[in-house]
Amino acid sequence: MSDKEDELAGTEQPFVAHLVELRDRLIKAMIAVGVVAAVLFMYPGPGALYDILAAPLIAHLPKGATLIATSVISPFLVPLKILLMTAFLGALPVVLYQAWAFVAPGLYSHEKKLVMPLVVSSTVLFFVGVAFCYYFVFGQVFAFIQSFAPKSITAAPDIEAYLSFVLTMFLAFGLAFEVPVVVVVLARMGIVSVEKLKAFRGYFVVLAFVIAAVITPPDVVSQLALAIPMCILYEVGLWAATIFIRHTKAPDEDATVSSTK
């Protein structure tokens, strides 16, 4: 009985220590988000952040037209949501660092070589996807939509509906730009070989256009803007997977390969 109690006592402290460390990491991440939110609240402010987000749509509305708020509290809540979302994205490097600092001590050296590049690359690719959507896709989509609007109609989109649309598009393009990371992970984990992924290339092209047709608005511009980058990034993922596998092999994998030669 005493042996079992000692065994439990020996395993309890490390578990509690991990929980304490996790709590501390979460607090630091939340503080980082709070600091960025406070800075953004002072400058440029929640209202200005929404104006920046709405700029691509406003640029293609008829002269004098603006967005409207159909709910009493929308002018307060919607900019606040934008502020919190922007603060999280701004503090994302700190949040990811805290997650990495919590996980890294339990990883082998070859696993650290695997995880850190994936975390950095996935973050960068997500931001690139969001930027591509904001600076290129929105302008093309809104111009295309307004070209079909009858002259007897005055476009006045609701701010909450626009926010929902923007978040959906940001998430779609951000995740679509993660294709190289997914390809690398599948190949490195041994789930699918690089050769099979290359053979799947033709099917992926069809899949990319199907996903683009389902997620994006029903216009050719946004569908092509999502599907074509996905196909290109798939090729990038195949190239990166070949290099990544070569440089992140575990020592026992290298020994196995050398012994079989």
What is the Cα–Cα distance from 104 to 98, expressed in whole angstroms? 10
Higher pLDDT, 189 or 47: 47
Cα 131 to chain centroid, rounded: 11
Inside any domain, residue 4: no
Task: Assess whether pLDDT exceeds 60 at residue 260.
Answer: no
Per the DSSP assignment, residues forming a β-bridge with 191 are none
Inside any domain, residue 25: yes
Task: Assess whether pLDDT exceeds 90 at residue 259.
Answer: no
Inside any domain, residue 172: yes
Q: Which of 21-35, 88-102, 149-163, 206-220 has the lowest mean pLDDT?
A: 149-163
Domain containing 170 equals 14-247
Inside any domain, residue 8: no
The rounded percent of the chain whose pLDDT value lies above 70 is 89
Inside any domain, residue 134: yes
Q: Examine residue 44 and say whether the peptide bond preceding it is cis (omega within 30 degrees of 0).
A: yes
pLDDT reported for residue 85? 93
Inside any domain, residue 149: yes
Averaged pLDDT for residues 19-27: 92
Inside any domain, residue 88: yes
Task: Assess whether pLDDT exceeds 90 at residue 63.
Answer: no
Mean pLDDT, the chain, as a whole number?
85
What is the Cα–Cα distance from 233 to 224, expressed in whole angstroms? 14
DSSP characters for the chain? -HHHHHHHHHHHHHHHHHHHHHHHHHHHHHHHHHHHHHHHHHTT-HHHHHHHHHHHHHTTSPTT---B--STTHHHHHHHHHHHHHHHHHTHHHHHHHHHHHHGGGS-HHHHHHHHHHHHHHHHHHHHHHHHIIIIIHHHHHHHHHHTS-TT-----BHHHHHHHHHHHHHHHHHHTTHHHHHHHHHHTTSS-HHHHHHTHHHHHHHHHHHHHHHS-SSHHHHHHHHHHHHHHHHHHHHHHHHHHHHS--HHHHHHHHHH-
What are the tens digits of pLDDT across the range 172-223?
A: 999 999 999 999 988 888 889 999 999 999 999 999 999 999 888 877 888 8
In one letter, which amino acid is 170?
Answer: F
CB distance 188 to 241 below 8 Å = yes
Averaged pLDDT for residues 117-134: 91
In one letter, which amino acid is 205?
Answer: V
Tally of domains within the chain: 1
